[in-house]
Amino acid sequence: MRADRVALTSELVRQMTTIANEPVMYDASYRRHLHGLPVTKEQAERFLRWASDTWRGTTQFAFLLLDPFEALAGFIFIKSRDPEGAEIGYWLSAGHAGVMTNAVLALAEAAGEAGFQALWARVQEGNVRSEAVLLRAGFTPLGVAPDPEKGHALFSRYHLALTATNEASQPSRVRRRAERPEKVEP
């Protein structure tokens, strides 16, 4: 669901704080910046406000992944308006495995319909689950390179060419269809 259409409640902030402090999520996204300190509720709330605000400036497009009980399960977003090749990013709570491939497929379909020609993603070396998500969604690996913005850690880069109908999101490849994101415009 579009991040700007999800009410910012104390329960959502609590869920975000819990997810951000899960070991895998914390190590990948927060440990270096927070010097080992836990993610606070205030930081989680700032993240959720930022996700909602991405729709106001329409320079990025953030979606919250909610489970059937409306609890926060994950996050996925398009990081730019570049129709020739926008980067995507995502994360998923450890307690909600098995839904990210469908979320990536749904996002790719919406991006293709909005006129994006390609999507790409970076995956930190060793994150085999994320690499598997991208491969199942039809992305092609392009190679490994250090990322100066991430302390020169090694990242694999993946690419997905889109068409108007986005061949990568053929229904036969989707086990459980994710909610389709609302329209995104580059």
What average pLDDT score do residues 116-143 get? Answer: 94
Mean confidence (pLDDT) of the chain: 87
The answer to whether residue 154 is domain-embedded is yes
Per residue in 65-100, pLDDT tens? 999 999 999 999 999 999 999 999 999 999 998 899
The answer to whether residue 92 is domain-embedded is yes
What average pLDDT score do residues 29-35 get? Answer: 90
The answer to whether residue 182 is domain-embedded is no
Which pLDDT does position 149 carry in this prediction?
73
The answer to whether residue 82 is domain-embedded is yes
Q: Which residues contact 34 (CB under 8 A, 6 or more apart)?
A: none
Residue 171 has pLDDT above 70, yes or no: no
Two structure tokens written together for 74? 């994950």
Q: How many domains does the chain divide into? A: 1
- CATH number, domain with residue 166: 3.40.630.30
Which pLDDT does position 29 carry in this prediction?
87
Residue 174 has pLDDT above 70, yes or no: no
Which pLDDT does position 164 carry in this prediction?
52
The answer to whether residue 181 is domain-embedded is no
The answer to whether residue 23 is domain-embedded is yes
Lowest mean pLDDT among 58-62, 99-103, 158-162: 58-62
- Domain residue limits at 140: 3-173
DSSP string, the chain: -BGGGS---HHHHHHHHHHHTSHHHHHHHTHHHHTTPPPPHHHHHHHHHHHHHHHHHTSSEEEEEE-TTS-EEEEEEE----TT-EEEEEEE-GGGTT-HHHHHHHHHHHHHHTT--EEEEEEETT-HHHHHHHHHTT-EEEEEEEEGGGTTEEEEEEEEE--TT-GGG-GGG-SSPPPPPPP---
Confirm if 47 and 20 have CB atoms less than 8 A apart. Answer: yes
The answer to whether residue 53 is domain-embedded is yes
User: What percent of the chain has a predicted confidence (pLDDT) above 70?
Assistant: 87
Q: How far is CA 66 from CA 9, 76, 100, 160, 179, in A?
A: 14, 11, 12, 25, 9
Residue 123 has pLDDT above 90, yes or no: yes
The answer to whether residue 36 is domain-embedded is yes
Given pLDDT bands bounded at 50, 70 and 90, which one contains residue 162? very high
Which pLDDT does position 28 carry in this prediction?
85
What average pLDDT score do residues 109-115 get? Answer: 92
